[in-house]
């Protein structure tokens, strides 16, 4: 540094910090050889505190305001420097500005799962993440414990320490809370406040920092536990599982009966499904109740003004094949209110549709 820079540094008589950042906690005012002019003006803006350091010892602290630096308002520095009758310009001291405003966009999260003993699911691994605000409340402790001689100290430099403390406190909180997994979401507010208080009690006394805000944004569960919760919710919505299974069985049988390509096989498949589901619905150890399948419907056809029958589906299929039964032939079976054209009966309509040709055979 040349002579011109030296003179310019000694002639500057305003000590201030215009903070353009959002994450700087501490900033040291740059001076040539730490020399400050006698009668210089110190400007401390709102959200700042200025601390004078003389030969490694903390001296005077200034709250927001404008000050003329004289012996009268530097009593501690005057004592440390041995000024009995005032001082001549310049004098040597380091000036640190500490930001006391909140840094609001700090993030935290659990790098490893935390084990929670749930009464319903047993040991469950959970993860959590959220945000917090950081603020300096004791500039002296902050300078002594964390900053040291750094010319600039950012909030990110203490973020790793804060995340470690929050994660440790969160694990202790979850272990002592004994809250079921299903009730975690309803306790985010209470957990956030308890977690904030626990962490703040640790950093306030030792590092001069405060956590005005701390939020738990989400507590997530492993994928298999989330699927189990979804299944449990679905069962709760269904209600009576036995009646629901019976409803599904009825739908499956109706679809099988109306399948054009299924014919009698579709009906047999539906009955088999019914027997299988009924056996699963029986209580453990109880003997299964065997119910005889309902009789196959028998059909009558109208030919020449006469009723011919009863006949089974296979007989009708043979008549369709030889042309003696057409889709406009009227048929009737028990349960029908009257005679209906065979092509309009869902159970018989498939008899009149041409069969799909088989696919090409596999290569030899």
Contact 195, 166 (CB under 8 A): yes
Domain boundaries, position 245: 240-281
Domain count within the chain: 4
Contact 96, 49 (CB under 8 A): no
Contact 98, 48 (CB under 8 A): yes
Looking at the structure, do residues 210 and 277 belong to the same domain, yes or no? Answer: no
Half-sphere exposure of 260 (CA within 13 A, CB side): 10
Q: How far is CA 6 from CA 27, 55, 179, 279, 326, in A?
A: 22, 21, 66, 97, 115
Looking at the structure, do residues 84 and 159 belong to the same domain, yes or no? Answer: no
The per-residue pLDDT for range 203-236, each reduced to its tens digit, is 887 888 999 999 999 988 878 777 777 776 676 6
Instruction: Tell me whether residue 42 is in a domain.
Output: yes
Q: Can you give the pLDDT at residue 12?
A: 52
**CA gap 120, 117 in Å, rounded:** 9
Sheet holding 41-44, edge to edge: 14-15, 41-44, 65-68
Looking at the structure, do residues 95 and 114 belong to the same domain, yes or no? Answer: no
Q: Can you give the pLDDT at residue 246?
A: 65
Looking at the structure, do residues 87 and 107 belong to the same domain, yes or no? Answer: no
Q: How far is CA 335 from CA 146, 214, 257, 332, 347, in A?
A: 90, 71, 16, 9, 13
Instruction: Tell me whether residue 359 is in a domain.
Output: no
Looking at the structure, do residues 166 and 211 belong to the same domain, yes or no? Answer: yes
Exposed/middle/buried for 293, CB within 10 Å: 0-12, 13-18, 19+? Answer: exposed
Cβ contacts of 241 within 8 Å, gap of 6 or more: 235
The per-residue pLDDT for range 37-63, each reduced to its tens digit, is 778 899 999 999 999 988 888 888 999
Q: Can you give the pLDDT at residue 186?
A: 85
Looking at the structure, do residues 91 and 60 belong to the same domain, yes or no? Answer: yes
Looking at the structure, do residues 60 and 22 belong to the same domain, yes or no? Answer: yes
Q: What is the mean pLDDT of the chain?
A: 79
The per-residue pLDDT for range 280-339, each reduced to its tens digit, is 555 555 555 555 555 667 888 888 888 888 888 888 888 888 888 888 889 888 878 888
Instruction: Tell me whether residue 362 is in a domain.
Output: no
Looking at the structure, do residues 188 and 158 belong to the same domain, yes or no? Answer: yes
Residue where a domain stops, chosen among 226, 249, 272: 226
Looking at the structure, do residues 121 and 218 belong to the same domain, yes or no? Answer: yes
């Amino acid at each position: 540094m040349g002579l011109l820079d030296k003179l310019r540094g000694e002639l500057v008589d305003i000590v201030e910090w215009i903070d353009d950042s959002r994450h700087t906690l501490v900033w040291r005012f740059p001076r040539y050889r730490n020399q400050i002019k006698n009668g210089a003006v110190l400007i401390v803006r709102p959200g700042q505190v200025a601390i004078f350091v003389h030969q490694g010892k903390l001296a005077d602290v200034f709250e927001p305001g404008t000050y003329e630096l004289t012996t009268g308002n530097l009593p501690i520095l005057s004592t440390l420097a041995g000024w009995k009758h005032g001082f001549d310009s310049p004098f040597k001291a380091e000036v640190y500005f500490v930001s006391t405003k909140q840094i609001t966009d700090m993030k935290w999260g659990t790098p490893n799962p935390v084990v929670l003993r749930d009464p319903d699911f047993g040991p469950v691994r959970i993860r959590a993440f959220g945000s917090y605000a950081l603020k300096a409340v004791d500039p002296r402790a902050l300078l002594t414990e964390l900053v040291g001689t750094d010319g600039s100290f950012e909030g990110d430099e203490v973020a790793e320490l804060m995340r470690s403390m929050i994660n440790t406190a969160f694990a202790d909180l979850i272990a002592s809370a004994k809250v079921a997994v299903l009730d975690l979401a309803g306790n985010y507010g209470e957990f956030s406040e308890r977690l904030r208080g626990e962490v703040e009690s640790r950093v306030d006394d030792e590092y001069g920092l405060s956590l005005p805000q701390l939020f738990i944004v989400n507590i997530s569960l492993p994928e298999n536990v989330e699927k189990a919760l979804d299944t449990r919710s679905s069962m709760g919505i269904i209600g009576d599982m036995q009646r629901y299974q019976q409803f599904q069985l009825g739908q499956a049988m109706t679809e099988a009966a109306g399948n054009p390509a299924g014919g009698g096989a579709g009906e047999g498949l539906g009955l088999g499904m019914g027997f299988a589901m009924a056996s699963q619905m029986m209580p453990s150890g109880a003997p299964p109740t065997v119910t005889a399948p309902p009789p196959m419907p028998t059909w009558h056809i109208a030919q020449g003004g006469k009723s011919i029958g009863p006949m089974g589906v296979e007989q009708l299929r043979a008549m369709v094949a030889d042309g003696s039964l057409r889709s406009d032939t009227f048929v009737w079976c028990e349960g029908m209110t009257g005679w209906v054209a065979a092509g309009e009966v869902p159970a018989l309509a498939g008899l009149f549709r041409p069969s799909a040709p088989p696919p090409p055979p596999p290569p030899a």
